[in-house]
Amino acid sequence: MTAAAVRPGKSPPAMNRKHFLVRPGRRARLKDFDPSFTGPYRDKERAEEKLAQDIEEVAKWQDVLYAHDTHAILMIFQAMDAAGKDGAIKHVMSGVNPQGCQVFSFKAPSAEELDHDYLWRSSRSLPERGRIGIFNRSYYEEVLVVRVHPEILRGQKLPPQESGDGLWKDRFQQINAFERYLAQNGIHILKFFLNVSKEEQKRRFLKRIDTPEKNWKFSTSDVRERQHWSEYMKAYEEVFQHTSTRWAPWYVIPADHKWFTRAAVANILLWKLRSLKMSYPSVSKAHLAELKKAKAMLLAEKE
Ligand code: ATP
Ligand code: MG
């Protein structure tokens, strides 16, 4: 369980998933998404209550997901540094059974990974049926950091192909096709961009520098990447426009208040789990008869 316990009495206000959704096919402009938005919550307490309540229900659904053994959920997290990916993952998954959950963090590809196509390392990290898989960064880096630093492409050993805009359009299509294939095979994708403002990132970096226990989290390359802020935002907008689909939508989650980010992500996960309309598998007559027999045997034991 997370910080706040579920209190009896008046329920915390509902969250509206559609505030954060990038509508498929629409041009998405980040200036239309306020990083400090907190919806119906004026303070942390009510949002934490909502988070606790939703996490409790997520945990119940996760058990059904596991038993049902047909669907999997893949949650993809993308963001600028210090937007709170790690904290969101930790809090949202805090109530779930670790056996039903797996997290992969994707860094710059290794030599072995570069010997394969760019989706290879993701394919082998996909969640099994019945599980919730989390990608902390993902193949979207291939149209983000690689777009902002095109020199990375030279190390990718690519065959002759489109260059410039054509290459990114091709990658968007490849990603959409990959995600559609997954969705049709029961792997349901939720994509979250944690939308932190440039000012808030600066505050968090300064805190990491000034707090000894947080020093390890800071690297000077983070400040270098920050200098490319507007190029990243442009690349993200293109990603949203071209890859927010019916089968794998993007959600732009306000990230200047960590307590709100966590509550919003948990609520969207819960919505998805509910929408799958799963139930525990029904037991056959033969199996019920076996259960009865086993019970009789147990009760008949002498010691
Ligand atoms: P944190 O900083 O919160 O610990 P992080 O996800 O930023 O988490 P880092 O080790 O700082 O982790 O950074 C990982 C780096 O790997 C990021 O700069 C990211 O852009 C880079 N990366 C991820 N995938 C690729 C890729 N396919 N090609 C090139 N770089 C990549
Ligand atoms: Mg980092």
For residue 31, what is the domain's CATH number? Answer: 3.40.50.300
Q: Is residue 35 part of a domain?
A: yes
Look at residue 2 and tell me if it is in a domain.
no
pLDDT band at 1 (very low <50, low <70, confident <90, very high): very low
pLDDT-derived band at 9 (thresholds 50, 70, 90) equals: low
State the residue range of the domain holding 23.
Answer: 17-300
Distance 213 CA to ligand 1 centre (A): 21
201 within a domain of the structure (yes/no): yes
H or E, element range at 241: helix 229-243
Nearest CA to ligand 1 atom 10: 107
Does the beta carbon of 264 lie inside 6 Å of ligand 1? no
Q: Got the DSSP string for 109-149? A: --HHHHTS-TTHHHHTTPPPTT-EEEEES-GGGGGTHHHHS
CA distance 4 to 269: 19
Look at residue 9 and give its three-state secondary structure.
coil
- Assess if residue 131 is contained within a domain: yes
- Residue 4 falls within a domain, yes or no? no
Torsion sign across C-alpha atoms 90, 178, 254, 229: positive
Total of domains in the chain? 1
The answer to whether position 3 is within a domain reads no
Answer yes or no: is the C-beta of 145 below 6 A from any ligand 1 atom.
yes
Q: What percent of the chain lies above the pLDDT cut of 70?
A: 97
What does the pLDDT average to over 104-113? 97
Take atom 6 of ligand 1 and give the residue whose Cα is closest: 137
Q: Residue 144 domain-assigned?
A: yes
Residue nearest to atom 4 of ligand 1 (CA): 217
Closest atom of ligand 1 to CA, residue 86: 3
* pLDDT bucket at 7, cuts 50 / 70 / 90: low
Tell me what pLDDT residue 68 has: 96
| pLDDT single digits (tens) 128-178 | 999 999 999 999 999 999 999 999 999 999 999 999 999 999 999 999 999
Token output for 196: 């932190």
Residue 277 lies in a domain: yes
CA of 235 to the centre of ligand 2 (A): 18
- Distance CA(6)–CA(12), nearest Å, equals 10
DSSP code at position 63: H
Which pLDDT belongs to residue 2? 43
Centroid of ligand 2 to alpha carbon of 202 (angstroms):
14
